[in-house]
């Protein structure tokens, strides 16, 4: 087998797994929301309705791909790709275990954020190209909220970086092996990151760009068939990435407390990582099933008036604590 073929096969396998991940997440959302709402969720297709989402993917693929007459065709077709590709590329730097990481970058955290900041571009393109007022409003909101929350998001991720002394996501996890999970010394930062992550991934109570009770379906209003499917999948992929980042930065990544990392080599580590990530996603969905939605001006006010100063303050506190008590958190440099 030629090396090129192997590379192609690996890429295909990886993309396939990532798509499968999205499909599983959608199934999970339906089940979790169903239970929260005193319903059953899908039950018919397969055991416990497990194949319902696969059937939906097939449905979306075979549906008529209706394009409204007055759209900006180039952007309209490009937008789902602009949204979807970064949501896949962001998986690259996330360490599923000590070895399983697509790109072990020294600037892994920065890379992930940089890739994710491409998403508003795609959402805006979708809203603009659709030639629909609801889409436009949704995408405008999306720009406002994602741009203003990238700053607190990155700042909230800094305390673990400062303690670990590295931006390599693998190193951050390894730093937590030796000491405690960073959620304990950085609990406020974890909460800030959770809020900013919910906003960045468009989850309730901050799902303003597609607020269905106000904007019908927001930026995705005019999309149908698999183009809608891509927008939909990328949302779930985003949720996964933010949950994975949270697990990596604050919840010890693939490690478990009081367990020798050596024991977890091989298949154990990625499973632990996935279980933790899915638990965080469950919390996301729990919030989604319960809370009302905030208004756009309230959302921006939270970001600029509370979250930004609070994260900055916490960075200062962390810095002072590291300097005054060198070695207090084990991995301090």
Binding site for other proteins (CB under 8 A): 33, 36-39, 70, 131-134, 136-137, 141, 204-205, 207, 211-216, 288-298
Question: Is the CB of 298 or the CB of 333 nearer to other proteins?
Answer: 298
Q: To the nearest whole angstrom, how small is the minimum distance from the Cβ of residue 203 to other proteins?
A: 12
Show the beta-strand stretches assigned E in the chain.
Answer: none
Residue 149 CB: number of other CB atoms within 10 A? 25
Residue with tokens 């005019």: 222
Question: Is the CB of 208 or the CB of 264 nearer to other proteins?
Answer: 208
Question: Is the CB of 40 or the CB of 61 nearer to other proteins?
Answer: 40
Question: Is the CB of 3 or the CB of 69 nearer to other proteins?
Answer: 69
97-106 contact pairs (CB < 8 A, 24+): 97/254, 97/264, 97/265, 97/269, 97/270, 97/273, 98/170, 98/174, 98/254, 98/261, 98/265, 98/269, 100/269, 100/270, 101/169, 101/170, 102/14, 104/168, 104/170, 105/168, 106/166, 106/167, 106/168
Q: To the nearest whole angstrom, how small is the minimum distance from the Cβ of residue 37 to other proteins?
A: 4
Q: Report which DSSP code applies to 132.
A: -
Q: Report which DSSP code applies to 47.
A: G
Q: To the nearest whole angstrom, how small is the minimum distance from the Cβ of residue 233 to other proteins?
A: 21
Q: To the nearest whole angstrom, how small is the minimum distance from the Cβ of residue 301 to other proteins?
A: 10
Question: Is the CB of 298 or the CB of 326 nearer to other proteins?
Answer: 298
Half-sphere exposure of 22 (CA within 13 A, CB side): 21
Residue 6 neighbours by CB under 8 Å, 6+ apart? none
Q: To the nearest whole angstrom, how small is the minimum distance from the Cβ of residue 33 to other proteins?
A: 7
- Round to whole Å and give the CA distance between 192 and 143: 20
Q: To the nearest whole angstrom, how small is the minimum distance from the Cβ of residue 34 to other proteins?
A: 10
Question: Is the CB of 17 or the CB of 286 nearer to other proteins?
Answer: 286
């Amino acid at each position: 087998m030629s090396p090129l073929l192997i590379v192609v096969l690996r890429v295909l396998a990886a993309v396939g797994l990532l798509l499968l991940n999205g499909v599983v997440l959608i199934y999970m959302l339906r089940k979790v929301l169903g239970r929260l709402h005193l319903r059953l969720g899908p039950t018919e297709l397969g055991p416990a309705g497990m194949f319902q989402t696969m059937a939906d993917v097939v449905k979306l693929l075979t549906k008529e791909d209706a394009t409204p007459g007055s759209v900006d065709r180039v952007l309209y077709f490009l937008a789902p790709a602009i949204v979807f590709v970064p949501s896949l590329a962001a998986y690259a730097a996330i360490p599923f275990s000590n070895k399983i990481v697509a790109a072990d970058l020294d600037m892994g955290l920065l890379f992930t954020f940089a890739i994710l900041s491409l998403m508003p571009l795609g959402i805006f393109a979708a809203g603009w190209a659709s030639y629909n007022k609801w889409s436009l409003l949704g995408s405008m909101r999306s720009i406002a909220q994602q741009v203003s929350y990238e700053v607190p998001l990155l700042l909230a991720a800094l305390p673990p970086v400062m303690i670990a002394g590295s931006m390599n996501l693998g190193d951050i996890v390894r730093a937590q092996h030796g000491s405690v999970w960073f959620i304990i010394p950085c609990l406020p930062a974890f909460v800030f990151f959770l809020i900013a992550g919910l906003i960045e991934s468009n989850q309730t109570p901050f799902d303003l760009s597609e607020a269905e009770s106000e904007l019908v379906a927001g930026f995705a209003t005019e999309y149908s068939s698999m183009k809608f499917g891509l927008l939909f999948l990328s949302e779930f992929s985003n949720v996964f990435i933010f949950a994975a980042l949270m697990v990596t930065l604050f919840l010890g990544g693939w490690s478990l407390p009081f367990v020798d990392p050596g024991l977890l080599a091989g298949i154990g580590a990625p499973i632990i990582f996935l279980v933790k990530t899915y638990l965080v996603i469950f919390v996301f969905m729990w919030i989604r099933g319960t809370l009302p939605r905030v208004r756009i001006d309230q959302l921006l006010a939270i970001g600029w008036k509370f979250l930004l100063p609070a994260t900055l303050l916490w960075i200062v506190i962390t810095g002072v604590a590291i300097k005054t008590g060198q070695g207090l958190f084990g991995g301090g440099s």
